[in-house]
Amino acid sequence: MRKVRTVTIADVARHAGVAVSTVSYVLSGKRAISATTRQRVLESVRALGYHPNAGARALASKRANVIALVLPLRAGMNLPVLMQFATSVVATARQFDHDVLLMTADEGPEGIQRVAASALVDGLLLMDVEVRDPRVPLLRELGEPSVLIGFPADADGLTCVDLDFARAGALCAEHLAAGGHREIALLGAPRVVYERGTGFAERTRAGFTAAARGLTAVAVPCEETYDEVAETVKLLFDRHPGLTGLVVHNEAAVGHVLAALRALGRSVPEDVSVVAICPDDVAERASPALTSVLIPAEDVGHEAVRLLMAKLDGLPADSMLLEPRLTIRESTR
């Protein structure tokens, strides 16, 4: 087989009729180049199929042009929603000319220390943040640029971004109260998520409970299989027969909850109003379509990368909470 020669920056320069340094300035953007020359260089890049050598670029810029995303592939986490976050992070990182190294959260602080010491990445994005997250002291100690998708209890000195889950839980309770419901319940994340002290689950429950003062309200964990969901829903109505409003914060359980209600002979929304905290596609596919608070995975992923890039450039990067948005559909009245 004939070996295909790699196209070099010198090849591009010869093809475009310019100096190698001019090609370098066009690709890096470090020096102003006339529009005509820039266009000629870019046409040569496309014609020859040139791709800058990542190792050489890293040596020149002292950057790896790679960021790490620590993804929570463990029990109780909904994979389709996680992939929405990951897709947004990867797409946004490419806009900043960065690639993404995926790590799993079960590596814990040791995995973060290993990657930081290797100089493989320029910065870190961490998901599945716990209220008392054991990775936080290490992040402060390392000084590696990082952004957390989620908030620990002590976020001082950290950059964090997330949906305001406390407000999301409150918004759902307030919507049901405004509809005249006086006995409501939150079907939350799986029990293991609460046992880990995962921030988004605890904040949703706290916001729901606070907004439901004056009502009869209960919050219970909810597993993900139909049999477990059906048992939870039946027990809930056995103990609270006057229950007329449900908030579901468990994407994998949404369809099972609706099926369990039908099995109990309770119609939505005639007998029970249901609000979900989930992506819009989950809410819209349900029957009936669910009133919901959107989990804005695309926006959160985009903002997380933007904040990390600001930190890499030495710019201010303040933590931010995204305001939840309630969309009323067919499942509440």
pLDDT in tens, the chain (333 residues): 445 567 888 888 899 999 888 887 887 666 778 888 989 998 998 888 887 655 555 545 456 789 999 987 776 677 788 899 999 999 999 999 899 998 876 677 888 888 877 778 999 999 989 999 988 998 888 878 999 999 999 999 899 999 999 999 999 999 999 999 999 999 999 999 999 999 999 999 999 999 999 999 999 999 999 999 999 999 999 999 999 999 999 999 999 999 999 999 999 999 999 999 999 999 999 999 999 999 999 999 999 999 999 999 888 899 999 999 999 999 998
Please report the pLDDT score of residue 99 as a whole number: 93
Please report the pLDDT score of residue 25 as a whole number: 80
Q: Where in the chain is the domain with CATH 3.40.50.2300?
A: 66-163+297-324, 165-295
pTM for this structure? 0.80
Please report the pLDDT score of residue 141 as a whole number: 86
Contact in structure between 101 and 68 (CB atoms under 8 Å): yes
The topology (CATH level 3) of 66-163+297-324 is Rossmann fold (3.40.50)
Alpha carbons 159 and 40: distance in angstroms, whole number: 41
Collapsing DSSP to helix, strand or coil, 287 comes out as: coil
Q: Which two tokens stand for residue 165?
A: 């889950």
| Helix (H), strand (E) at residue 219 | strand 216-220
Q: Where in the chain is the domain with CATH 1.10.260.40?
A: 9-52
The topology (CATH level 3) of 9-52 is 434 Repressor (Amino-terminal Domain) (1.10.260)
Domain 165-295, what architecture? 3-Layer(aba) Sandwich (3.40)
Please report the pLDDT score of residue 105 as a whole number: 63
Distances (CA, A) of 230 to 234, 243, 254, 257, 267: 6, 16, 11, 7, 15
